Structure 1
Amino acid sequence: RKNVPARAMNESEAIEQMELLGHTFFMFFNIDENAANVVYKRKNGGYGILALELE
């Protein structure tokens, strides 16, 4: 298990951070949704957002 600090930002800032780090995904706290999200790079070159949803 690894604890990772989640920075508060919007989706475009998260994409920028992911690209700057050279990663294919990036966890962040989405200030627009008030929730933890993951942005990831799609195979087609676009981006996707995973939003956690409690059941």
Structure 2
Amino acid sequence: MDTMIAPAQHYIPTRLHSLFPHPAQDPAQKRRYIAVLTSRNADVPCALVRDVYTKS
């Protein structure tokens, strides 16, 4: 199983990923999260990242 972890500024619930509180945050700052995408096959998360951050 392949896993991709990315920072998230806002909590937006969806079935596409899991959100967890960021473990290294200052309690005085705005709450941050970590988005975790898992897949049995690396093609899906790689394609998602490629489509979000590139134009090809």
| Fold-level similarity (TM above 0.5) | no
Greater strand fraction, Structure 1 or Structure 2: 1
For normalisation by structure 1, the TM-score amounts to 0.31
**Greater Cα radius of gyration, structure 1 or 2:** 2
Higher relative contact order (CA 8 A, sep 6+): 2
For normalisation by structure 2, the TM-score amounts to 0.30
